[in-house]
């Protein structure tokens, strides 16, 4: 059985888009701060691996556990989820007209074997007016998303360009995950047949 250690509806949808319909959702309570002594990629990879290990403690022998953590980095500093509307507007103002990096740490644990990685995508925002920021914040969309925007929703209108994996910005780099699952013995291209 595949276990997704995340409550993110976007990650659930991306797993289903990969043809994986039979999985359990077991988010962990684990909230780990971003370690400033590590590079951004190492920091999110460490967070994802910690979540995956926590979820694997209650997994059965044949289960495959997947965990991910996505953070937005501007000038090397992490932007998590905004605390409130004012914080969301502050983040969006900081991102306006600039490039930032969205980095997802991802981990897979199966039969005692751990895999982890970090995937980075460069995203450039359009220059935003205060009215555009206020409108977007008023939609409520930015309030539960790292960096205060969702590329797959209305936030897509704020983006000038991306360089890298689109699905990474959504929160789960599916091509990289497919390879990790394959190495864990689950072939997504043949509907999970053991390989």
Encode pLDDT of 150-191 as tens digits.
999 999 999 999 999 999 999 999 999 999 999 999 988 886
Buried b / exposed e over 100-122, threshold 16 CB at 10 Å, is bbbbbbbbbbbeeeebbbbbbbe
Quote the pLDDT of residue 34.
Answer: 79
The rounded percent of the chain whose pLDDT value lies above 90 is 78
Judge whether residue 32 has pLDDT over 90: no
Give the residue-averaged pLDDT of 103-107. Answer: 96
The answer to whether the pTM exceeds 0.85 is yes
Quote the pLDDT of residue 30.
Answer: 67
**Beta pairing partners, 103:** 71, 120
Quote the pLDDT of residue 69.
Answer: 92
Residue 36 or residue 51, greater confidence: 51
Judge whether residue 10 has pLDDT over 80: yes
Q: Which of 21, 69, 87, 160 is catalytic?
A: 69
Integer Cα distance of 60 and 176 in angstroms:
24
Sort 17 into a burial class: Cβ within 10 Å, 0-12 / 13-18 / 19+.
Answer: exposed
69 classed as catalytic:
yes
**Integer angstrom CA distances of residue 152 from 6, 141, 158, 163, 166:** 18, 11, 11, 16, 9
Judge whether residue 195 has pLDDT over 70: no
DSSP three-state, residue 37: coil
Q: What structural domains and CATH numbers belong to the chain?
A: 2-194 (3.90.950.10)
- What confidence tier does 35 reach under pLDDT thresholds 50, 70, 90? confident
Encode pLDDT of 59-86 as tens digits.
888 899 999 999 999 999 999 889 999 9
Integer Cα distance of 55 and 45 in angstroms:
15
Q: Are 30 and 51 in contact (CB under 8 A)?
A: yes
């Amino acid at each position: 059985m595949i276990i997704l250690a995340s409550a993110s509806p976007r990650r659930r949808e991306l797993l289903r888009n990969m043809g994986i319909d039979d999985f359990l959702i077991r988010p962990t309570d684990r909230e780990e701060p971003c370690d400033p002594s590590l590079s951004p990629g190492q920091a999110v990879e460490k967070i994802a691996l910690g979540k995956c290990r926590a979820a694997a403690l209650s997994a059965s022998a044949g289960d495959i556990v997947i965990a991910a953590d996505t953070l937005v980095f501007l000038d090397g500093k992490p932007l998590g989820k905004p605390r409130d509307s004012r914080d969301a507007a502050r983040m969006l103002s900081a991102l306006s007209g600039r490039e930032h990096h969205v980095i997802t740490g991802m981990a897979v644990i199966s039969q005692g074997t751990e895999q982890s990685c970090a995937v980075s995508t460069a995203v450039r925002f359009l220059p935003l007016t205060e009215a555009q920021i206020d409108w977007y914040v008023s939609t409520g969309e930015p309030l539960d998303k790292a960096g205060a925007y969702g590329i797959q929703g209305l936030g897509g209108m704020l983006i000038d360009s991306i360089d890298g994996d689109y699905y990474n910005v959504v929160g789960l780099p599916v091509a990289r995950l497919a390879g990790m699952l394959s190495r864990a013995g689950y072939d997504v291209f043949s509907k999970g047949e053991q390989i």
